[in-house]
């Protein structure tokens, strides 16, 4: 396998994150149709997403460690089979509890097999342009609202929610199983020399890693960042319809966020390669917090579109940077385990938003306190990120693979 195969890994990772996380986040599109058809409460349905993030968090740690030990291909193959099965079973759920267990637990477990292992695999393939490569893999998450979400909305309109979810499950099998066969380890992995945790090329000690200031700040920032934006992302479609936006147009706001997130990932990843990860991350977190507060004063479709561009580019742009920091701090040999652990903390942060947002809406019949609280947590994430220790080694990297 030549050097060019690393871009096959990037393409495979982007497709997998698009399908897997797009299918999981499509619950935001299914929420209202499910509630209308079944009479289940919004908070009960949203709690399935909370379970998604909790299970995805612990699963990311487990699957990240498994990918370090056994390689990423077997991990993503298991996830490909499990994701389709989970969606098919969820489409047949007859009670809210059955839906919460199948969609909340099985979909979350399946989705966790893709993000941390494929991000970790990508960092192992790249020494130069690492920020850009990781951003491209993560861009699958940004493409999902432009593809999976409108597809889900169209299927629901045409066939109701149960057949729609069944079709998405079958499509996951068709797309992901063949792509999983393309995933490989790099021909020769870069040694861990130069990091603060691997003297003489020895394998870093996990006990030392997880107690280090680097990991503590990484985990807390990732947690607060995701806790800030998860609720607004999940409830955005419902919030827009409350403001008088038509349902399909409300879904298009979600799609604009995804498109902006794609651009944000490319922009922030390239900037991180040029000027360093920390300043780009802090700036992105501040933009995210400001955008969250601004949602309090928007109500028209054009305003939603404009803010979606700012918000989507900010939260989409910062997400891949945590993996780049983990790789720089801890080296390639345990990147799956370390980033899986950081992802576990971020998923726990993500778990709060949908549940709290559903409770706020059921209690107050509006989302004002959701946006106020999210903006405050977003500011806290930026403050924590300022405490990142200096990197042991940080050399400027060209943005598009051209020698200096």
Which of 122-126, 316-320, 387-391: highest mean pLDDT?
A: 316-320
pLDDT at 397: 43
pLDDT at 355: 77
pLDDT at position 153 is: 85
pLDDT surpasses 80 at 360: yes
Instruction: Identify the pLDDT of residue 395.
Output: 44
pLDDT at 404 over 50: no
pLDDT(12) > 80: yes
Mean pLDDT (the chain, rounded): 84
CA 107 to chain centroid: 14
**What is the pLDDT at residue 402?**
35
Q: Which of 209, 213, 261 has its CA nearest to residue 233?
A: 261
Token code pair at residue 62: 């487990």
Integer-rounded Cα radius of gyration of the chain:
20
pLDDT range class, residue 197, cuts 50, 70, 90: low
Q: How confident is the model at residue 398 (pLDDT cuts 50, 70, 90)?
A: very low
**pLDDT, position 282:** 93
How high is the pLDDT of residue 351?
75
User: What does pTM read for this prediction?
Assistant: 0.71
Give the residue with greater pLDDT, 263 vs 371.
371
According to the model, what pLDDT value does residue 401 have? 37
Q: Is the pLDDT of residue 403 over 70?
A: no
- Helix (H), strand (E), coil (C) string for the chain: CCCCHHHHHHHHHHHHHHHHHHHHHCHHHHHHHHHHHHCCCHHHHHHHHHHHHHHHHHHHHHHHHHHHHHCHHHHHHHHHHHHHHHHHHHHCCCCHHHHHHHHHHHHHHHHCCCHHHHHHHHHHHCCCCHHHHHHHHHHHHHHHHHHHHHHHHHHHHHHCHHHHHHHHHHHHHHHHHHHHCCCCCCCCCCCCCCCCCCHHHCCCCHHHHHCCHHHHHHHHHHHHHHHHHHHHHHHHHHHHHHCCCCHHHHHHHHHHHHHHHHHHHHHHHHHHHHHCHHHHHHHHHHHHHHHHHHHHHCCCHHHHHHHHHHHHHHHHHHCCHHHHHHHHHHCCCCHHHHHHHHHHHHHHHHHHHHHHHHHHHHHHCCCHHHHHHHHHHHHHHHHHHCCCCCCCCCCCCCCCCCCC
Classify the phi-psi angles of 74: left when phi > 0, otherwise alpha if psi is within -120 to 50, otherwise beta: alpha
Task: Please write the tens of the pLDDT for every residue from 206-256.
Answer: 778 888 888 999 999 999 999 999 888 888 888 888 888 887 788 788 778
Closest listed residue to residue 56, CA positions, set 358, 397, 345, 385: 345
More reliable by pLDDT, 268 or 50: 268
The per-residue pLDDT for 392 is 55
Supply the CATH classification number for the domain 5-185+206-385: 1.20.1250.20
The candidate with the shortest Cα–Cα distance to 17, out of 107, 106, 141, is 141
Domain ranges for the chain, please list them. Answer: 5-185+206-385
- CA atoms within a 13 Å half-sphere pointing along the CA-CB vector of 259: 14
**When comparing pLDDT for 293 and 394, which is higher?**
293
Q: Which residue bears the tokens 């601004």?
A: 294
212-216, 270-274, 294-298: range with lowest mean pLDDT: 270-274
- CA of 135: how far to CAs of 65, 121, 236, in Å? 22, 13, 24
Give the pLDDT score at 347.
Answer: 77
- Distance from C-alpha of 310 to C-alpha of 216, rounded to nearest angstrom: 28
pLDDT confidence tier of residue 204, bands split at 50, 70 and 90 = low
Whether the predicted pLDDT of 390 surpasses 60: yes
For 299-317, the pLDDT digits (tens) are: 888 899 999 999 989 988 8
Over pLDDT 70: what percentage of the chain? 91
pLDDT of 201 reads 54
């Amino acid at each position: 396998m030549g050097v060019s195969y690393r871009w096959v890994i990037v393409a495979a990772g982007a497709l997998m994150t698009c399908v897997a996380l797009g299918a999981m986040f499509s619950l935001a599109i299914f929420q209202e149709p499910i509630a209308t058809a079944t009479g289940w409460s919004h908070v009960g349905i949203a709690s399935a997403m909370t379970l998604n993030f909790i299970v995805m968090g612990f699963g990311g740690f487990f699957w990240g460690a498994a990918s370090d030990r056994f390689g990423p291909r077997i991990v993503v193959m298991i996830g490909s089979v499990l994701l389709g099965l989970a969606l098919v079973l969820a489409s047949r759920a007859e009670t809210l509890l059955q839906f919460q267990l199948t969609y909340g637990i099985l979909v979350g477990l399946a989705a966790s097999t893709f993000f941390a292992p494929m991000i970790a695999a990508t960092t192992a393939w790249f020494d130069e342009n690492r920020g850009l490569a990781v951003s491209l893999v993560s861009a699958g998450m940004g493409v999902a609202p432009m593809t999976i979400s409108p597809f889900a909305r169209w299927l629901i309109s045409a066939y109701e929610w149960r057949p729609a979810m069944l079709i998405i499950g079958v499509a996951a099998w068709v797309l992901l199983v063949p792509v999983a066969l393309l995933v490989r380890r790099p021909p020769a992995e870069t040694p861990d020399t130069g990091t603060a945790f691997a003297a003489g090329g020895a394998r870093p000690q996990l006990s030392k890693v997880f107690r280090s200031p680097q990991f503590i700040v990484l985990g807390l920032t990732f947690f607060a960042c995701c806790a800030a934006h998860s609720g607004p992302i999940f409830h955005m479609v419902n919030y827009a319809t409350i403001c008088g936006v038509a349902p399909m147009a409300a879904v298009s706001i979600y799609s604009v966020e995804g498109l902006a997130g794609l651009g944000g990932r490319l922009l922030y990843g390239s900037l991180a390669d040029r000027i360093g990860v920390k300043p780009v991350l802090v700036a992105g977190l501040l933009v995210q917090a400001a955008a969250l507060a601004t949602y309090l004063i928007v109500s028209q479709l054009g305003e939603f579109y404009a803010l979606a561009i700012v918000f989507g580019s900010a939260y989409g742009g910062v997400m891949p940077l945590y993996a780049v920091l983990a790789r720089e701090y801890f080296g390639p040999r345990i990147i799956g385990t370390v980033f899986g652990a950081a992802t576990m903390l971020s998923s726990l942060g993500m778990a709060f938003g949908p549940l709290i947002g559903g409770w706020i809406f059921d209690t107050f019949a509006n989302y004002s306190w959701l946006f106020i609280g999210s903006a405050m947590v977003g500011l806290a994430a930026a403050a924590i990120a300022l405490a990142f220790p200096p990197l042991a080694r940080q050399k400027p990297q060209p943005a598009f693979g051209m020698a200096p």
